[in-house]
Amino acid sequence: MNHEIDLKNYSLRTDLTIDSIESSNSLKGVYQQINKVDNITITDVELFKNNALDKKEGYYITIEFDDVTDKDNYNKVNKVLTNEISKLLQKINIKEDDTCLIVGLGNEKSTPDALGPQVVNQSLVTNHIYEIGRLSSGFRRVCAISPGVKGQTGIETSIIIKSVVEKIKPDFVIVIDSLASQSIERVNKTIQITNTGIHPGSGIGNSRREISKEVLNIPVIAIGIPTVVDATVIVADTINYMYKHYAFMKEYQHKPSSKLTFNNVNYLNKNIKFNPTDKKQLLGLIGMLDEEEVKKLISEVLTPIGYNMMVTPKEVDFVIDKLSSLIALSLNQVLHKNFRQ
Amino acid sequence: MNHEIDLKNYSLRTDLTIDSIESSNSLKGVYQQINKVDNITITDVELFKNNALDKKEGYYITIEFDDVTDKDNYNKVNKVLTNEISKLLQKINIKEDDTCLIVGLGNEKSTPDALGPQVVNQSLVTNHIYEIGRLSSGFRRVCAISPGVKGQTGIETSIIIKSVVEKIKPDFVIVIDSLASQSIERVNKTIQITNTGIHPGSGIGNSRREISKEVLNIPVIAIGIPTVVDATVIVADTINYMYKHYAFMKEYQHKPSSKLTFNNVNYLNKNIKFNPTDKKQLLGLIGMLDEEEVKKLISEVLTPIGYNMMVTPKEVDFVIDKLSSLIALSLNQVLHKNFRQ
Amino acid sequence: MNHEIDLKNYSLRTDLTIDSIESSNSLKGVYQQINKVDNITITDVELFKNNALDKKEGYYITIEFDDVTDKDNYNKVNKVLTNEISKLLQKINIKEDDTCLIVGLGNEKSTPDALGPQVVNQSLVTNHIYEIGRLSSGFRRVCAISPGVKGQTGIETSIIIKSVVEKIKPDFVIVIDSLASQSIERVNKTIQITNTGIHPGSGIGNSRREISKEVLNIPVIAIGIPTVVDATVIVADTINYMYKHYAFMKEYQHKPSSKLTFNNVNYLNKNIKFNPTDKKQLLGLIGMLDEEEVKKLISEVLTPIGYNMMVTPKEVDFVIDKLSSLIALSLNQVLHKNFRQ
Amino acid sequence: MNHEIDLKNYSLRTDLTIDSIESSNSLKGVYQQINKVDNITITDVELFKNNALDKKEGYYITIEFDDVTDKDNYNKVNKVLTNEISKLLQKINIKEDDTCLIVGLGNEKSTPDALGPQVVNQSLVTNHIYEIGRLSSGFRRVCAISPGVKGQTGIETSIIIKSVVEKIKPDFVIVIDSLASQSIERVNKTIQITNTGIHPGSGIGNSRREISKEVLNIPVIAIGIPTVVDATVIVADTINYMYKHYAFMKEYQHKPSSKLTFNNVNYLNKNIKFNPTDKKQLLGLIGMLDEEEVKKLISEVLTPIGYNMMVTPKEVDFVIDKLSSLIALSLNQVLHKNFRQ
């Protein structure tokens, strides 16, 4: 039924700005500030026009955390997330009584893509109560939709959103989406908040047209969590790990401390420098390609097989439950004064 | 969270036209024809302007069947349903290549109200394939949305539909909805198809504004199945049964055949006449009220308690699965020539 | 598929001991103490041998609360529930390191019956970690099963539990179950905890054999929440309300304060006395029957129709989610010292 | 919550016997016969004692098909599957009225692991009807359980099954399980039926103890479908594809037909021979390892990161629905004469 999927737009781009910063050689037009709170890393990025990352100008806040299935951690991330979304809303002049439309992107029937609809299900929606004149003060007017995905509806998602926005006329939109990550370590452990909206090719291989202020004429805040890794990425990462592992073992294996350090998975350490000759020796011609070229080669090989694979953690259903409840809770606190404390 | 629900519009109206025909004294402006195929009853009703039922003019086809969880029955109902929808589309001049928007009304999270969204999930959607120029002949352009319910979205459902229809410009709309029934015996055993759309107050106590040709400017076919009975109805029905049971037992209990006939639940037999004095004797003042008055009294008593109860069969989850698959299969066959073979 | 359901065991018994106390004329062998904390009523009952309720001797703690979908209330009920279960475990000499088997009764596919399995899904299970020698102190050995229902498995549920208990040899069992209530007002608003286990006929019309210390040879704590009302009950309650409403209106309708008092739904007020003559006048012969007789009559009439109906609140899916998370949270706190604070 | 998962038993073994046959150098003790029906390949394998594959003696039937989401294909595979299970039951002397216990292994909450429980949900269970003496002839006594997974229950799954078998005393067991595949192409496109049961390490990285005739003392038929690929496998496959792609391009790229042949994804063609020097040149030291060594290296690198990843097709939820309905339908036809029509 879904066989007509176009694999051409299987790009190697990442949805996470901090991925791009890490792999970019220049930081022209990039302002970046990093804070740590309770083992949670908050990276505040502002991109200016014509930045080196070739990304849209605007704010990108990235929250990195460990394990949201742990109760304490959950509460800490909730606090940080509520705070960061509130600050962003202030920066872009959203007022306490502006009407909000929450949009949950993604396919509720496919677990790693269900984040958006699950957040919508748990959001405190008040617009219909306002309309009958019974909304208490301390609550903002909020509506919420899950427009489905193109494969289910046959309609470009951005068009459904645009048509609803034009009728309902909210003051701003908050879009929730599952992202694809460029690195295994970030899956389900990173939240990105931005005022630049959602751009084509985001998500699990489904191209969607832009959802942004440019298109909708009102501010669009996008909140995204990488929940899958493309098969291409996991292959590329592993080839990389193999080479670093090889290089590391070659260097350290006769030293007394090697066993211990190996336990620390040193090939994940970004500061260790490796020797290009090792790479060539281990990986032959592939070792001479740079990272982007390896990914292109992998993609070239995997795409025609058409297996349309995604890589997720085994406990994905459980984690998506926690993450959606976390975002919904934070949104309810941000949007409704009376929901706080 | 959902406490602001307005109970005032708790009306006693039924969504099924054959319910209305049964309880109406006049059949002015009502054309009715009944066919039986394989234990399936098909009631073809045409209502003309100013009909005695005070319902909108148009076609109302009602299919009554026994048990759709039985494989054979399922196949028979599927055949009848496909045939009846096709005939209605022809009657109202829908062409083989007209674009269709399927709308699944209701709340996917509440089982008896999930019929519409579940049909959408199983519909063969093709609009996006058409748009990239790859739709084979034999398939119609179809898109499908599940707009959610006002309690989830904060938005009047009819407004979401109207906004999408205006952007997408389909040639006709098919709306799928769960209905409330006026009689326990019809729950999950009746399908109503009509070209008059959906009207306020339909469904499980949620008032929704009209979804019809008058509002959307294109034909709207509504397919509905009663999946719940209002608490008011079950109480009224039972009081009625008690009285009939009492009257029947009084008359027949000393006759030799009484045990056998009792097994046939004679108080469900609509042709047996009962004596009003019996009713008064058994039920006192309540026995002197007519059916509508009893229901009003029950409603008056139940409403302020606000328990917002629904009555469903215990196996509702299983039956809704079957019914949604049945409607989706029939729709796919009706809409796509190549799906019929 | 499920047509062979035996309706004979459609009894009128209630699963809630406080229901029985209310409708009993004698309190012989019944010790009862009522506390109120934060709008939560805790009724502590001890039944002695040969008590007037004809129920098994043991402890029955009933927690009545308002609306668990409200965050504050949720937290308050959680605190009370954790406290009451802990006290009961102490009373019956369960030690901090005794091994627990949690059993979630019911059918996960039928929402109002899914409470037990949903609690199991959210319970912190540790037995397998203990077995590989890695359980931290502060955590108890806990295992958990959802044995399904007889209609799904073909096996008496109590037999599956007994066979697992004999192999695993836990020190005590905690059984979670959905109950049927005798009054609409208690649905989803009452938790009963007892050390007497589960008895035949409990739940949604499915007879299950006893699950108790007598059968399993280890203590069995049962935690139950009424999630449905039998159709019989709602009819009987409504007839009752109608009569009281009638009686009340007759008495008060010409007094100046009547409108106000009517808003308070006075027919729910248990302290108002009614006149038997009124009842006869309003309800005829039915008015002369006592409550149990009316229910028997209703049951007699409804059973052969076989519609096997249940009555639930419309928002049942949402409420069951909250209630199962509440019980699971409380159990995790009770069972694992390290999960508290 | 599930952090204590032991990754040591992350073996490279495959659950599919035809995978082992393909990668084995010797076919000692292996009898194999291949049939093609309607594009469906049926591989009938009998393994004798001390076979070269080091697998348990017994029958292994493998059905390979294309796309079960296509209606025609679904029906064809259903016919083949029903036929093959029936033949196996006859071979091992299961009689028409022997009692069957169906066991659905796996975690219903994790989509690719939900195959077993979903089959149980759709199986026609009759044991409880037999017990009340109302089972029509033409129906076999069948019971069914979904014992859950160790991470949910804390109990070794094989122990739950053994305890139920000892109480219920069925004549034979049919176990349904999700398998891990060694090749991307087989995921959701292969069914394996065997009379040798289930062995440790099967499934999605969860070690479960053996479920077999040796343990349960009655015949155990296992029906498995590979629904995931280990991350290790996808990396190894891709490295392999890259090398073959490279070798193929080097050879054919200047020939006129190359463009066409590339579309056929020639690197999947098992008959094309490749030159070891090419491999070394492309892949360096890794090119000199054999396939098993590469996988071990990948596993060594991926395991300590602990990301516990699985690789599934993006439409996994939809496909598992179809596959479970397919197996349940076939089982119902095999087990109940009256279900065949």
- A259: which 2 tokens? 């066993």
Of B141-145, D56-60, D242-246, the range with the lowest mean pLDDT is D242-246
B238, B244, B322: best mutation site toward chain C, by most C Cβ within 10 Å? B238
| Torsion, CA A290, CA A295, CA A298, CA A302, rounded to 10 | -170
A225 membership: H or E segment, kind and range? strand A220-230
* CA geometry: angle D280, D286, D290, nearest 5 deg: 90
Helix-then-strand count for chain D, H and E: 12, 9
Spell out which residues of chain C touch residue B231, defining contact as CB-CB under 8 Å.
234, 238, 311
ipTM: 0.82
Which pLDDT score, from 0 to 100, does residue B19 have?
Answer: 83
Rounded to a whole number, what is the distance in angstroms from the first to the last CA of chain A?
48
Helices (H), chain A: 17-23, 71-91, 115-121, 127-131, 150-153, 157-168, 213-216, 231-252, 258-263, 276-288, 291-305, 316-335
Greater pLDDT, D275 or C144: C144
Q: What is the pLDDT of residue B38?
A: 83
Helix (H, G, I), strand (E, B) or coil at C256: coil
Residue D107 belongs to a domain? yes
Q: Are residues C174 and C79 in the same domain?
A: yes
C263 touching B (Cβ < 8 Å): yes
The per-residue DSSP string of B232-243 comes to: HHHHHHHHHHHH
Q: Which residues pair with C180 in a beta bridge?
A: C228
Residue D41 CB-density burial (10 A; 0-12 exposed, 13-18 middle, 19+ buried): middle
Q: pLDDT at residue B207 above 50?
A: no
Reduced to 3 DSSP states, what percent helix, strand and coil does chain C have, rounded to the nearest 5?
45, 20, 40
Residues C190 and C267 in one domain: no
Residue C57: partners with Cβ closer than 8 Å, 6 or more residues away: C29, C47, C48, C49, C51, C196
Interface of D with A in 5-64 (CB under 8 A): none
**Which pLDDT band holds residue B273 (cuts at 50, 70, 90)?**
low
Q: Which residue has the higher pLDDT, A64 or A198?
A: A64
Within chain C, how many helices (H) and strands (E) appear? 12, 9
State the amino acid at position A10 in one-letter form: Y
Closest partner residue to B317 (CB to CB) among C67, C110, C318 is C110
Mean pLDDT of A107-123: 90
Neighbours of chain A (3+ CB pairs under 8 A): B, D
Taking the CA of residue C143 and the nearest CA in chain D, the distance in Å comes to: 5
Q: Do B308 and C315 touch (CB under 8 A)?
A: yes
CA atoms of A130 and A134, how far apart (whole Å): 6
pLDDT single digits (tens) A160-197: 999 999 999 999 999 999 988 777 788 899 999 999 99
Interchain contact, B148 vs A145, CB within 8 Å: yes
Using CA atoms of D182, D184, D187, D189 in order, give the dihedral in degrees to the nearest 10: -110
Quick one: DSSP state of residue D101? E
Of the candidates B129, B142, B155, which has its C-beta nearest A143's C-beta? B155
Looking at the structure, tell me whether residues B131 and B256 fall in a common domain.
no
Residue C157 neighbours by CB under 8 Å, 6+ apart: C105, C147, C148, C149, C150, C208, C209, C211
Q: What is the pLDDT of residue C23?
A: 76
Residue B3 lies in a domain: no
Q: Tokens 């399995």 sit at which residue?
A: C117
Reply yes or no on whether the pLDDT at A1 is more than 80: no
Q: Please report where in the chains the tokens 């959610």 appear, as a residue.
A: B148
The CA distance from B288 to B292, in Å, is 12
Which candidate, D331, D324, D338, places its Cα nearest to that of D114? D324
Among A6, A143, A154, select the one facing B154 at the smallest CB separation: A143
Q: Which of D111, D242, D298 shows the shortest C-beta gap to A238? A: D298
Instruction: Please tell me the distance in Å from C155's CA to the nearest CA on chain D.
Output: 6
Q: Which one of D144, D154, D163 has the shortest CB-CB distance to C143?
A: D154
Shared domain for B286 and B139, answered yes or no, is no
Which tens digits make up the pLDDT trace of B280-295? Answer: 776 777 777 777 777 7
How many Å apart are CA C335 and CA C86, to the nearest integer? Answer: 8
> Angle at which helices C276-288 and C231-252 pack, to 10 degrees?
150
**pLDDT category, B140, cuts 50, 70, 90?**
very high
| Residue A78 banded pLDDT, cuts 50, 70, 90 | very high
pLDDT in tens, C105-137: 998 888 888 999 999 999 999 999 998 888 888
Task: Identify the domain containing residue D132 by its residue range.
Answer: 17-228+313-339
Tell me the shortest Cα–Cα distance from A70 to chain D, in angstroms.
7
A and B: number of Cβ contacts within 8 A:
97
- A273 located within any domain: yes
Integer Cα distance of B255 and D188 in angstroms? 65
Count of domains for chain D = 2
- Under the banding of pLDDT at 50, 70 and 90, the label for residue C270 is low
Considering the domain architecture, whether residues A65 and A194 belong to the same structural domain is answered as yes
The stretch A24-51 carries a mean pLDDT of 92
For the segment C205-215, the average pLDDT, to the nearest whole number, is 74
Tell me the pLDDT tens digit for each residue of A294-333: 777 777 777 665 556 778 887 788 899 899 999 999 999 9
Burial class of residue B197, CB neighbours in 10 A (0-12, 13-18, 19+)? buried
Residue B5 maps to a domain: no
The pLDDT assigned to B263 comes to: 41
Average the pLDDT over each of A327-341, B2-16, D88-102 and give the range with the smallest value.
B2-16
- Mean pLDDT of all residues in A263-279: 58
Top mean pLDDT of A132-141, B140-149, C8-17 is at: B140-149
Examine the domain organization and report whether B243 and B224 are in the same domain. no
**Is the Cβ–Cβ distance between D29 and D51 less than 8 Å?**
yes
Residue A212: CA count within 13 A, CB half-sphere: 14
Give domain status of residue D5, yes or no: no
- A40 lies in a domain? yes
Is residue B279 over pLDDT 90? no
Angle B74-B79-B83 from CA coordinates, rounded to 5°? 145
| Residues B305, B156 share a domain | no
Interface check A154 vs B, CB under 8 A: yes
Check whether residue A328 and residue A281 sit in a common domain: no
Alpha helix positions (H), A55-156: 71-91, 115-121, 127-131, 150-153
* pLDDT value for D232: 77
C68: left (phi over 0), alpha (psi -120 to 50) or beta: alpha
How many whole angstroms separate alpha carbon A158 and alpha carbon A207?
11
Where helices occur in A225-315 by DSSP H, the ranges are: 231-252, 258-263, 276-288, 291-305
Residue D153 has pLDDT above 60, yes or no: yes
Confidence of residue A258 (pLDDT cuts 50, 70, 90): very low
**pLDDT number for residue C58:** 95
Q: Which residue has the tokens 């088997």?
A: C101
Residue corresponding to tokens 């009554």: B64
Residue D68's CB: how many other CB atoms inside 10 A?
A: 20
Q: DSSP letter for B164, please.
A: H
Q: What is the mean pLDDT of residues D137-163?
A: 93
Answer with the residue of higher pLDDT: B186 or A44: A44
DSSP C56-67: -SEEEEEEE-S-
Same domain? For C325 and C297 the reply is no
Lowest mean pLDDT among B57-66, B91-100, D7-16: D7-16
How far is the C-alpha of A230 from the C-alpha of C121, rounded, in Å? 30
At C85, which CATH number? 3.40.50.1450
- Beta carbons of A314 and D318 less than 8 Å apart: no
State which H helix or E strand residue B332 sits in. Answer: helix B316-335
Nearest CA in chain A to D269: A305
Q: Which one, of C230, C224, C222, C221, lies nearest residue C181 by Cα?
A: C230
Claim to verify: residue B153 and residue B285 sit in the same structural domain = no
What's the pLDDT score for residue C275? Answer: 66
Q: Is A196 exposed, middle or buried (0-12, 13-18, 19+ CB in 10 A)?
A: buried
Residue B314 to residue C110, Cβ atoms within 8 A: yes
Indicate whether B12 belongs to any domain. Answer: no
Q: Is A6 inside any structural domain?
A: no
Nearest beta carbon to residue A109 from set D69, D286, D317: D317
pLDDT-derived band at B296 (thresholds 50, 70, 90) equals confident
Chain C contact for D129, CB < 8 A? yes
Q: Which helix (H) or strand (E) holds B227?
A: strand B220-230
Average pLDDT in the A129-157 region?
92
Q: Can you tell me the mean pLDDT for C11-37?
A: 82
Q: Tokens at residue B65, please?
A: 């069947």
What's the pLDDT score for residue C9? 34
The answer, for C297 touching chain D at a CB cutoff of 8 Å, is no
Identify the weakest region by mean pLDDT among A13-17, A159-163, A247-251: A247-251
User: D167 CB near a chain C CB, below 8 Å?
Assistant: yes
Residues of B in contact with A134 (CB under 8 A): 4
Q: In whole angstroms, what is the distance from residue A208 CA to residue A200 CA?
A: 5
Do B147 and A144 lie within an 8 Å CB cutoff? no
Please check whether residue C292 is in contact with residue C37, taking contact to mean a CB–CB distance below 8 angstroms: no
Same domain, C243 and C168: no
| Residues B149 and B212 reside in one and the same domain | yes
Mutation for testing the C interface, residue in D2, D7, D152 having most C CBs under 10 Å: D152
